[in-house]
Structure 1
């Protein structure tokens, strides 16, 4: 029993208000000063099915999913049967009185059962069964030993817009559940959280929301997108706060229109972005190529989910890494970033705009359903974050105009390319760095010309084959400087180890937690985690170490990338591709890891 790391699972059918119960409880826990991590498993349906809202809470926890839980609240029989095996033997089961006698009962030394007649209380005391879920929130708060006043504050925030009567009824419902749960003393004391003190400003926020804020902080003022799970939350968040953040949002008719709108906005001077998932990104790839040819800064968020085709639209996977790196026909430079968690998503979004504008390239930010939808407690100073992100983006505003134009130091040509005095503007002036001074239509009297055909320095179509070669070399030359700016993998406990786990994107917390568990068992294991994946930086891997990739896909895409770029010899790959996020237990208990620890070998893949 570890009261400093408690797992809570709430299950039910779609349409039962599962998200409301989970979110209110998780937000109240975060407001109480605890570290909270919450994620969801839900089916692709509006009503029915078996969904779950899972919460991990404690004074200091890993922001990673777990597979066993201390407290279980089922809202229906079907989901109860599905998730009951995940309840710890010393856990607490909270359910309606009429559920007694079903499937699994409390035994001596086993789970305790707390009976709370949610619907009966809601109907008889409050006159509406809709308050049953708030009764459940109160019961959970009672089991955890929370301050009910904090829960009431969250309920007031969530339901205040519905009027004082509804708010008061929800507060009464929570108190009824709280009192009934705490009255059952043996169970109520089993998993009470230890007291904690709040330090710093804490925010309970999702990956999609922090990414949206990072984009806004970097000066993004236009977003066009077509809704597609799991990236829809970005445009809905920016739309909700459009006036406050100064971002114009447009829901396009499809993904082709979305990316072309964003390219057009960027050409006109906006900091523009779009977001989609794998299927939508397929439609966007011609636009990615267009941004590459026209050297138009562009940020594209690719929220991954299991494919191919529609696949599992509400589950998670890391199956599009190589697709993103190679997206778009023809050869042109691009950058691919993959945030490690919600906090990192803020910075990576801001960095994406910096790189896009500095090098005039498309930048792809890769998330996934797990990272996009998961909520976590972030402890930070918002003013410093906003200043850092905005400052980084503003630093590139005039960077391209300072580039010297190649060709013998022609000052007049450089002036025309940059500031201009009415002479012809060379949008694609050949430079030593490959980056040409960039202007927007209306900044001066010159024509700002760009074309998807191969073009000359002024942007007009050309069939000159020698110039074609120079233009290809100009564009590709940007990769040299970009590569020097890409961050190396994050090294985690890699000194004096025999095994190093290689991971990328949203799996960092799970991998680092797995490393901690393995080291606690006496194994010499470390990790290298990549969040900037293309172009890969110059990096020297230590010799005498066995390397294993850990990723959420079937083909070991990170493994293929590292073999190709570094000629790295890998001992194997731990791959998960059932639609669920990686956990430390999955990694530690995988056949590959068992073999690696047991005999120094390892299978190719955990299949």
Structure 2
């Protein structure tokens, strides 16, 4: 019996690789196992190598595994590209159709199974992926009944005959695999899971659910990888709650439409990736000066320009903070897990309305498209806070027909907010500098008053857990700092480093702007060295930390920008080598 394993399926896009991984993972999730999945795919609709790596464990996991136990290959390229990941004792299950070969090695076993031929005998070669699922189930010692419910849900609309054919394909694959395994039939049998029901979500779905729970009823967006799933989810769900999604002609229209809807009092979002956010920058400035709440999701991907649209990167930080011309208050939130993505999305709407500012929820491709086991969401935690706005409030009506002071200079920087049609609420709205009623003004005194008012909005920003801290040591050898999806890999590396006698603390930044200096600075002071882990080439988070916290002499970066997420061993190896070289242990 083993407590966890890593399984990967690969082939050409369009061969059913994604559905193979989905059926395998969903079935195991329903047995109560914890899973973490990550897809590698090309930026084209069909063709090109793709794979889906799924980690299965009896305990919680939040990172891609360093190595691989089982590789399911639909072509030779899959073996050539992924073989190096296999650990000693690993297994390759390959379609016999392409006469698979593996490098000379006595440490990995190849099982050549006629996926395509068995599927064709059952009626169509398209079911070869189900044969592969069956072969995998035999390796793990699972009954094919585990997959029946999932297959029925996926193929039920096509008729019971299709369902039974797919189940039969799984059974044939399992039978063929068991015959080949012989006495080794249970060599990778998993320990039993706890059987508890948990969700299995990508980050984008959690973000969309958070938007719904947070009261959003409109989304304007333009499709872009890796953000499109948010829009696709809400297209199906928002109409059931009286809402709507509009696919706009571009990201400029999406952002300005979202501003218009928020101005009308409807909680609205838009979502994009780096290229789309570049187009939105002028509109974000409009949100800032008109003080209209705005929520944007930025799913980071490889850049610049089109760059690596289907690969991991974390290179939008500086753009999100400083990309707009001029100076406006804005908030940038960075969830680190799928679960946090749900709750932080709700909070993004609350913060946007309470402080009347643009709020950017920043994720990365690994978090947005990676699939994680998630404990049941607690909807009783969801609170709706709309700040200085109430549809039912009564406004005083001026006898002198004076305009409403929509941009009134207040001590906390937040002015009273109204929406069109409210009696007594008439005011100007313009993108140029204005006085308290919105009337354009170039007065130096008024300019200072309005700028100061806007900029002090965030002096008292309340955001839960702006930095997640795991600090056991007052004199740590190393403090590891990260944001977004690097959390899981950092946590695993910590465990290994502690086992080697290295004292490690961890701080994960969840609020990028305004930067939580007060929460992070004490952790910097406790450590001999600080290593910031981030997926970009220039150390953007590192620079932000140095600007806000100082201690530049002890801060260094661990950077990765080849399009792949961090593995725990990469962080472990770098930290161990650095600490040893500096004589700290």
Q: Confirm or deny a common fold (TM above 0.5).
A: yes
Name the SS of the counterpart of 1:522 in structure 2.
coil
Distance 2:164 2:438 in 1: 65
Name the SS of the counterpart of 1:333 in structure 2.
coil
Aligned match of 2:160 = 164
The match for 1:353 among 349, 356, 374 is: 349
Residues 41 and 310 in structure 2, CA contact (< 8 A), matched pair in contact too: yes
The match for 2:318 among 322, 344, 347 is: 322
1:430 Cα deviation (Å)? 1.2
Name the SS of the counterpart of 2:456 in structure 1.
helix
Aligned match of 1:579 = 563
Distance 2:292 2:91 in 1: 56
Deviates more, 1:253-262 or 1:81-90: 81-90
| Residue 121, structure 1, aligned to residue 118, structure 2 | yes
1:46 Cα deviation (Å)? 2.2
The match for 2:580 among 581, 590, 597 is: 597
Aligned match of 1:189 = 186
Residues 486 and 536 in structure 1, CA contact (< 8 A), matched pair in contact too: no
Distance 2:175 2:406 in 1: 70
Aligned match of 1:560 = 543
Residues 359 and 478 in structure 1, CA contact (< 8 A), matched pair in contact too: yes
The match for 1:457 among 429, 436, 458 is: 436
Distance 1:101 1:267 in 2: 60
Distance 1:325 1:593 in 2: 33
Deviates more, 1:226-235 or 1:81-90: 81-90
Name the SS of the counterpart of 1:589 in structure 2.
helix
Distance 2:105 2:171 in 1: 25
Q: In 2 relative to 1, CA 467–594 (structure 1 residues): closer, same or farther, beyond 3 Å?
A: same
Aligned match of 1:604 = none
1:322 Cα deviation (Å)? 1.1
Distance 1:156 1:20 in 2: 13
Query: Which structure 2 residues correspond to residues 28-67 of structure 1 after superposition, within 5 A?
Result: 28-67=27-66
Distance 1:480 1:106 in 2: 62
Query: Which structure 2 residues correspond to residues 113-262 of structure 1 after superposition, within 5 A?
Result: 113-124=110-121, 126-183=122-179, 184-199=181-196, 201-262=197-258
Aligned match of 1:366 = 362
Name the SS of the counterpart of 1:51 in structure 2.
strand
Tell me the C-alpha RMSD between the 2 structures.
2.0
Query: Which structure 2 residues correspond to residues 21-32 of structure 1 after superposition, within 5 A?
Result: 21-32=20-31
| Residue 489, structure 1, aligned to residue 488, structure 2 | no
Name the SS of the counterpart of 1:498 in structure 2.
strand
Name the SS of the counterpart of 2:199 in structure 1.
strand
Q: In 2 relative to 1, CA 63–543 (structure 1 residues): closer, same or farther, beyond 3 Å?
A: closer
Distance 1:186 1:360 in 2: 67
Residues 549 and 573 in structure 1, CA contact (< 8 A), matched pair in contact too: yes
The match for 1:377 among 373, 388, 397 is: 373
Distance 1:178 1:191 in 2: 14
Aligned match of 1:547 = 530
Q: In 2 relative to 1, CA 593–255 (structure 1 residues): closer, same or farther, beyond 3 Å?
A: farther
Aligned match of 1:413 = none
Distance 2:289 2:434 in 1: 9
Distance 2:110 2:370 in 1: 29
Distance 2:182 2:199 in 1: 32
Name the SS of the counterpart of 1:275 in structure 2.
strand
Q: In 2 relative to 1, CA 379–101 (structure 1 residues): closer, same or farther, beyond 3 Å?
A: closer
| Residue 70, structure 1, aligned to residue 69, structure 2 | yes
Q: In 2 relative to 1, CA 358–600 (structure 1 residues): closer, same or farther, beyond 3 Å?
A: farther
Aligned match of 1:3 = 2
Residues 10 and 52 in structure 1, CA contact (< 8 A), matched pair in contact too: yes
Aligned match of 2:340 = 344
The match for 2:282 among 272, 275, 286 is: 286
Name the SS of the counterpart of 1:241 in structure 2.
helix
Aligned match of 1:300 = 296
Aligned match of 1:420 = 395
Distance 2:318 2:580 in 1: 30
Distance 1:543 1:178 in 2: 54
Aligned match of 2:93 = 94
Residues 225 and 273 in structure 2, CA contact (< 8 A), matched pair in contact too: yes
Where structure 2 has 5 or more consecutive residues not aligned to the other structure, the ranges are: none
Residues 238 and 245 in structure 1, CA contact (< 8 A), matched pair in contact too: no
Deviation digits for residues 174-216 of structure 1 (CA, Å, limit 9, x no counterpart): 11112222332344311111112223x3011110000110111
Aligned match of 2:14 = 15
Residues 478 and 527 in structure 2, CA contact (< 8 A), matched pair in contact too: no
Residues 239 and 248 in structure 1, CA contact (< 8 A), matched pair in contact too: yes
Aligned match of 1:272 = 268
1:79 Cα deviation (Å)? 1.8
Deviates more, 1:62-71 or 1:532-541: 532-541
1:593 Cα deviation (Å)? 4.6
TM-score by length of 1: 0.91
Deviates more, 1:139-148 or 1:536-545: 536-545
1:571 Cα deviation (Å)? 3.5
Distance 2:538 2:332 in 1: 19
Name the SS of the counterpart of 1:25 in structure 2.
helix
| Residue 474, structure 1, aligned to residue 453, structure 2 | yes
Where structure 1 has 5 or more consecutive residues not aligned to the other structure, the ranges are: 403-416, 602-607
Distance 2:427 2:380 in 1: 32
Deviates more, 1:180-189 or 1:315-324: 180-189
Name the SS of the counterpart of 1:400 in structure 2.
coil
Deviates more, 1:445-454 or 1:46-55: 445-454
Distance 2:455 2:97 in 1: 68
Distance 2:147 2:105 in 1: 28
TM-score by length of 2: 0.94
